[in-house]
Amino acid sequence: MDRIRNIPQRLRLAIPIIIFCFLGIGCATSQNSLQVMAASSLTEAFEEIADEFEKENQIKVTLTIAGSTSLASQLEDGAKIDVIALADLETMERVIQAGRVSKNDLRIFATNHLVLATPLENPGNIYDLNDLENSVTAICAKQVPCGKLSFQLALQKGVKLHPSTFEPNVRSVRTKIELGEVDAGLIYITDINKKINHSLISGAEKVQTEYPVAITTDSKQESVNFVEFVLSPTGQKILRQYRFGGPE
């Protein structure tokens, strides 16, 4: 007690921190942790990739999952992030223009395409993209990657979409379908599950979105290692397990 009292104030305040770090308590610092943003369609794949990266590198990865446009807005507003992975190049261009990512650091790591999804009972008898014209349909908002891709695919197929609801991300579309709130919707093939039915759309794999990943301009060296891990055979194998296509 006397020794602590005689130590300068700044050192006295530091002693508990030093003791805790010596004991291995509460010492996760910015040097051994990474903040990673990932589009909602990457949720399960990036959770597994982060787990494997942590095991191999002893670096804690904290994921922020949301729609790509929401993530881009957060980065534009100054969010402290090391790595960002989005669902299309156009949205990544926003953060490049904002000066948060260098175009030279951008890497394409996956591709994705759309399928037609319905509730299990398929009450609207939806079997083809043309059936969406007169049905209760959920589509991603036009400004988000899955929405842009939906309208691009519909245009190519000569189908006019009249969505009953525009959703902020693909997971929200899937939830509407799971709950039976809509007759059908367009979701990524990576988002299909046992709670819904899905049908492949002829030619949809040719109208795909590319997923870019990049370190931010104020990221740490470990960020480069994470990006390389995503592109590594291990990272790519995990992405294939979740039906993502490879970079072209």
As a whole number of angstroms, the distance between CA 68 and CA 118 comes to 24
As a whole number of angstroms, the distance between CA 30 and CA 177 comes to 40
Q: What is the DSSP string of the chain?
A: -HHHHHS-HHHHHHHHHHHHHHHTSS---GGGEEEEEEEGGGHHHHHHHHHHHHHHH--EEEEEEE-HHHHHHHHHTT---SEEE-S-HHHHHHHHHTTSS-GGG-EEEEEE-EEEEEETT-TT---SGGGGGGS-EEEE-TTSHHHHHHHHHHHHHT-----SEEESSHHHHHHHHHTTSSSEEEEEGGG--TTEEEE--TTGGGS-EEEEEEE-TT--HHHHHHHHHHHSHHHHHHHHHTTPBPP-
As a whole number of angstroms, the distance between CA 207 and CA 170 comes to 16
pLDDT at residue 3 greater than cutoff 90: no
Local confidence band at 30 (pLDDT 50, 70, 90 cut-offs):
low
pLDDT at residue 14 greater than cutoff 70: no
- In terms of C-beta density within 10 A (0-12 exposed, 13-18 middle, 19 or more buried), how is residue 24 classed? exposed
Local confidence band at 134 (pLDDT 50, 70, 90 cut-offs):
confident
- Mean pLDDT, the chain, rounded, equals 88
As a whole number of angstroms, the distance between CA 83 and CA 86 comes to 10
Which amino acid is located at 63 in the chain? L
Q: pLDDT exceeding 90 applies to what percent of the chain?
A: 84
pLDDT at residue 239 greater than cutoff 50: yes
What is the token pair recorded at 167? 């959703």
pLDDT single digits (tens) 140-194: 999 999 999 999 999 999 999 999 999 999 999 999 999 999 999 999 999 999 9
- Can you give 100-129 as a three-state secondary structure string? CCCHHHCEEEEEECEEEEEECCCCCCCCCH
- For residue 183, give every residue at least 6 positions away whose Cβ sits within 8 Å of its Cβ, in sequence order, or none: 118, 119, 123, 124, 126, 135, 136, 137
pLDDT at residue 22 greater than cutoff 60: no
Q: Which residue has the tokens 């709950």?
A: 179
Average pLDDT over residues 195-206: 94
pLDDT single digits (tens) 48-78: 999 999 999 999 999 999 999 999 999 999 9
Torsions phi, psi for 227 (to 5 deg) = -60, -45
pLDDT at 218: 87
pLDDT single digits (tens) 85-115: 999 999 999 999 999 999 999 999 999 999 9
pLDDT at residue 25 greater than cutoff 80: no
CA distances from 70 to 33, 75, 87 (A): 23, 9, 12
pLDDT at residue 7 greater than cutoff 70: no
Domains in the chain, start-ordered, CATH in brackets? 9-111+211-241 (3.40.190.10), 114-206 (3.40.190.10)
